[in-house]
Chain A
Amino acid sequence: MVFDFIALGVFSLIIIVMAAYGYKLSAKTAEDYMMAGRTIGVVVMFFFVLFAISSSWTFYGFPGVLYLHGPGYVFFIWGSVAGFAGLYMFLGPRLWALAKINRFLSPIEVLAERYESKALRVLLSITMLAFIIPYVGIQPLGVGRGFEALTGLPLWVGAVYTSVLLIILVILGGMRIVAWVNIFLGMVYVTALLGSLFWVVSIVFPDAGLVQAATTLVEIDPAKLSAPGPLGEYTSTLMIGTFVVGLMAFCWPHVVIGVMTARDKKLFRWFPLLIFVFGGLFFYIIPFIWGSLVAPAALPGVTSVAEADSIVQTVIQTYLPRWFAVLVLMGVIAAAVSTAAVQLMTSSIIVARDLVQGVIKPDANDKQITAIARWSVVGIVIFSLSVTVAVQIGAGEEAMALYLTNVSVPGFAQWAPALVGGLLWKRGTKQGALAGTLVGVTYLLLGMLIKGADGSNILFFDLHPVVPTLPLNLIVYIVVSHLTPRPSEQIEDVFFNEVDDYLRSERTV
């Protein structure tokens, strides 16, 4: 136990020192704190974004669902890889150029200016905060579960430890150090996840490795090797739906904001390569193999959602020495902190730049909004900890993976029509964006709240929440845009013509 705490103490110290160093380096301006001075290059950006996406979900939730339901859930990953690459290939260059030319600090600010609407700014800010903050809370929860499994300490200990680390990192470091720390955290995480996989496979399946694991599964539970899985859950319809939900990854706000920190347009040419090769063909396959093959073959018989969520850690603790389990817990903390830090940065930028400076106090200066962004982090962390409290008192036991896909992603999806239309469709209007977003968000909230007698979300007609809400949002956006006067020529110039000229210009390279 003493070794555990020393190791975790050293790990925390590295993060804190990096954050302090970042504070010393920073230019103390809002642009530097929120956008890393727009200096992030392709390699740092890749680790920054990959590990912003790869939360404790990739260690707990994702393998947990695969363990229980077989490989069908992996279509979320295939959709996500395409979604993230799509963001950088289709929307990224324009969003980056717009932000750079006009000194925008938040993607919501871009849309508020594009549609010339303060009301839209408020609506999008509140919507994004409402869906991102509980997701921030999932990260300390994941660490809390890891702490509990390894040390026997209550869930809240790990959650509070993570929260304190997060607050220090984000308040001191800002976006640049969050990005840099993500490289360190990512390396810890990959080492833990991949190292443990190799080690467990060599111990449990020494003769033929993964082939032996698959053969074992064919004998004990073959349904876990194909769709629809042992419980019949992942039908063709659900897999296609899961894939579509994955495609919506292009509009996760904490990923979208990363685009705006890019150093130059070259990044957009190289970034998808890393997403496809390192992300799609390597990184996400590790937890897939863990959850769909190695864990069910090594430790079959688990049926509860909570136990399945921790199955990778349970296997590691069963087969590997205790000291390695501490390294794995560090990996989980790394994954949780890397994601939550970016989400926190995004949330604090929305609060400071969009709500405070954009609406409440338009005359706030650079120094003031930086301070507000820093201190709002504390409030957001405390608020997000309610997720941990809810689980601790037994009020919320939904599987972590399904929280991401069933709650956060449908919420993030509601700004997709306004975002895509704002950047790519000249005819999109303020009224269209407002009406579409409002209708989509209202439908989503009502659908989540109103339950049938059997507990199902009857307003979603037994479909994934994205499926009925997003098309309605999109249709309303398009129809209302066509029925209202087109945006001014000035808007068209600033948001389309100038951006295109800028991106074509060699001077921007």
Chain B
Amino acid sequence: MLEMKTHRAGKIFLAVLVLSIIAMMVVVGLGYMETPEGADPILLFGWMTMPLVAGVAFVLVWLIAYLIYFFKYWPYR
């Protein structure tokens, strides 16, 4: 991690990961995992519940950021 703080790409990578964690907490905190009053639960593709959707999106953000940074910019690569 120390090596990531020594260059711009590393700082951006760390910032993306931290922001994704904050975003996840904000989305959960704002109540997007809950069913709106009087409505049916929100299901993507007819079966994916919101906690699953949020998690998959979170993992995808980490995956993309990791692929770009570790294969292009990581100083120890």
Instruction: Enumerate chain A interface residues (CB-CB to B < 8 A).
Output: 70-72, 74-75, 77-78, 81-82, 85, 89-91, 93-94, 208, 210-211, 213-215, 218, 222-223, 225-228, 236, 239-240, 243, 247, 265, 268-269, 272-273, 276-277, 280-281, 285, 288, 292-293, 424, 496, 500, 503-504
Can you list 18 pairs linking A and B with CB atoms under 8 Å apart? A72-B33, A74-B52, A75-B28, A78-B58, A78-B59, A81-B62, A85-B62, A85-B66, A211-B46, A226-B34, A226-B51, A228-B34, A276-B63, A276-B66, A281-B56, A288-B52, A292-B49, A292-B52
Q: Are B49 and A243 in contact (CB under 8 A)?
A: no
Q: Are B47 and A293 in contact (CB under 8 A)?
A: yes
Q: Are A93 and B76 in contact (CB under 8 A)?
A: yes
Given A74-B55, A272-B66, also A222-B47 (CB < 8 A): no
- CB neighbours (8 Å) of A70 from chain B are 49
- In the complex, given contacts A78-B58, A211-B47, what are 11 additional A-B residue pairs having Cβ atoms less than 8 angstroms apart? A74-B52, A75-B51, A75-B55, A78-B55, A90-B1, A214-B43, A226-B33, A227-B51, A239-B33, A281-B59, A500-B2
Q: Kindly state whether residue B24 has any CB partner on chain A within 8 Å.
A: yes
How far does the alpha carbon of A61 sit from the alpha carbon of B66 in the complex, in Å? 31
Q: Are B70 and A500 in contact (CB under 8 A)?
A: no
**Contact flags (1/0) for B47-72 with A, using CB distance below 8 Å?**
10111101110111011001100110
- CB neighbours (8 Å) of A293 from chain B are 47, 49
Q: Are A82 and B21 in contact (CB under 8 A)?
A: yes
Instruction: Enumerate chain B interface residues (CB-CB to A < 8 A).
Output: 1-4, 17, 21, 24-25, 28-31, 33-35, 40-43, 45-47, 49-52, 54-56, 58-60, 62-63, 66-67, 70-71, 74-77
Cβ-defined partner of B42 (8 Å) among A85, A226, A268, A292: A226
Nearest CB in chain B to that of A77: its residue: B55
Q: Are B76 and A503 in contact (CB under 8 A)?
A: yes
Q: Could you count the A-B residue pairs with CB atoms below 8 Å apart for me: how many are there?
A: 127
Given A225-B43, A239-B33, A277-B63, also A71-B51 (CB < 8 A): yes
How far does the alpha carbon of A211 sit from the alpha carbon of B48 in the complex, in Å? 9
How far does the alpha carbon of A273 sit from the alpha carbon of B56 in the complex, in Å? 14
Nearest CB in chain B to that of A209: its residue: B47
Q: Are B47 and A210 in contact (CB under 8 A)?
A: yes
- Closest chain A CB from B17 CB (angstroms): 8
- Closest chain A CB from B36 CB (angstroms): 9
- Closest chain A CB from B43 CB (angstroms): 6
Cβ-defined partner of B76 (8 Å) among A227, A268, A281: A268
- CB neighbours (8 Å) of A72 from chain B are 33, 51
Cβ-defined partner of B29 (8 Å) among A236, A276, A280, A288: A236
- CB neighbours (8 Å) of A276 from chain B are 59, 62-63, 66
Q: Are B46 and A82 in contact (CB under 8 A)?
A: no
- Closest chain B CB from A292 CB (angstroms): 7
How far does the alpha carbon of A75 sit from the alpha carbon of B57 in the complex, in Å? 12
- CB neighbours (8 Å) of B51 from chain A are 71-72, 74-75, 226-227, 239
- CB neighbours (8 Å) of B2 from chain A are 94, 424, 496, 500
- CB neighbours (8 Å) of B52 from chain A are 71, 74, 285, 288, 292
Given A78-B24, A82-B21, A236-B29, also A269-B74 (CB < 8 A): yes
Nearest CB in chain B to that of A508: its residue: B76
Q: Are B35 and A273 in contact (CB under 8 A)?
A: no
Given A82-B21, A91-B1, A227-B51, also A269-B71 (CB < 8 A): yes
- Closest chain A CB from B41 CB (angstroms): 4
Cβ-defined partner of A226 (8 Å) among B21, B50, B56, B70: B50
How far does the alpha carbon of A239 sit from the alpha carbon of B28 in the complex, in Å? 7
How far does the alpha carbon of A228 sit from the alpha carbon of B59 in the complex, in Å? 22
Cβ-defined partner of A236 (8 Å) among B4, B21, B31, B40: B31
How far does the alpha carbon of A218 sit from the alpha carbon of B46 in the complex, in Å? 11
How far does the alpha carbon of A210 sit from the alpha carbon of B45 in the complex, in Å? 10
- CB neighbours (8 Å) of A243 from chain B are 24-25, 28
Q: Are B59 and A280 in contact (CB under 8 A)?
A: yes
Nearest CB in chain A to that of B4: its residue: A90
- CB neighbours (8 Å) of B28 from chain A are 75, 236, 239-240, 243
- CB neighbours (8 Å) of A89 from chain B are 1, 66, 70
Interface core residue of B42, B43, B49 (most chain A CB under 10 Å): B49
